[in-house]
Amino acid sequence: MVSGINASTKRWVVGITGASGAIYGVTLCRQLLNAGFHLHLVVSEAGWRVLKEELGWNVTNRLECINKAFDSAQAEGRMTYHPLGDIGASIASGSFRCEGMAIVPCSMGSLSAIANGASTNLLTRAADVMLKEGRPLLLVPRETPLNAIHLENMLKLARLGVRIIPAMPAFYNGPQTLDDVVDFIVGKTMDGMGIEHNLYRRWGHPNE
């Protein structure tokens, strides 16, 4: 549930890259669709590989795969899938109105490209648009261990106002399943997006 706004008029851009943790991005997309947002999705080539390897998706027909994974949201007009190479897509322009963008998970390669202004594909161009237009940009990096280059790139983006939300699960909420762990990370991402949810129990609220 989204509080205080008409979600049906709101758009979020979501990017899924080749870092491990594709389930985070898929779960976030489903949550946004369930909340009534219009979703604009772009997936990197490595992201498609991870969707295949980690979730068992048949990615031969990508549009068909998207419709199957998200209950025909694309066919019903609740979602727009943008191919990575479509640099002329709506989300590549600052005139496109949206609430912001989340890249979940975000590989170190994509993070580096964004930090250094290398808009070589639609995903990194859309992120660059968020920066130049002053819109929210949230990254969920997933890598371990981190080297100095990774840390410096994240610090650079954080200083520009980008929300860095590492995929670091908490355990105070007593997770019992892998879904609980995933929901915590997605919930923290949605907190950063300003979207209400009930994906995890908050500290100090044992009955919620």
- Check the annotation: does 163 bind a ligand: no
Cβ contact 184:175 at 8 Å: yes
Residue 130 marked as a ligand binder = no
Question: Does 119 carry a binding-site annotation?
Answer: no
Crossing angle of helices 45-55/22-34, nearest 10°?
A: 90
**What does each C-alpha distance from 204 to 172, 183, 197, 201, 208 come to in angstroms?**
10, 18, 16, 9, 9
What is the fold, at CATH topology level, of the domain defined by 7-193? Rossmann fold (3.40.50)
User: Is 172 labeled as ligand-binding?
Assistant: yes
Helices (H), the chain: 22-34, 45-55, 62-69, 108-115, 122-133, 148-159, 178-193
Joined tokens for residue 62: 């990508």
Write down the pLDDT at residue 70: 94
d(CA 139, CA 157): 10
Give the model's confidence band at 9: pLDDT under 50 very low, under 70 low, under 90 confident, else very high.
low
Is residue 188 a known part of a binding site? yes
Say if residue 8 carries a ligand binding annotation: no
Length of the chain: 208
User: Is residue 181 predicted with pLDDT exceeding 50?
Assistant: yes
Taking only the tens place, the pLDDT of each residue in 122-163 is 999 999 999 999 999 999 999 999 999 999 999 999 999 999
On the question of pLDDT at 8 being above 50, the answer is no
How far is the C-alpha of 168 from the C-alpha of 152, rounded, in Å?
19
- In the 8-state DSSP scheme, what is residue 91? G
Domain ranges of the chain: 7-193
The answer to the question of whether 108 is labelled as a binding residue is yes
The pLDDT, as a whole number, for residue 75 is 86
Express each pLDDT in 101-114 by its tens digit: 999 999 999 999 99
Residue 121's alpha-carbon distances to 72, 92, 161, in angstroms, are 26, 9, 22
Asked whether residue 95 is marked as a ligand-binding residue, the answer is no
Region 167-177: what's the mean pLDDT? 93
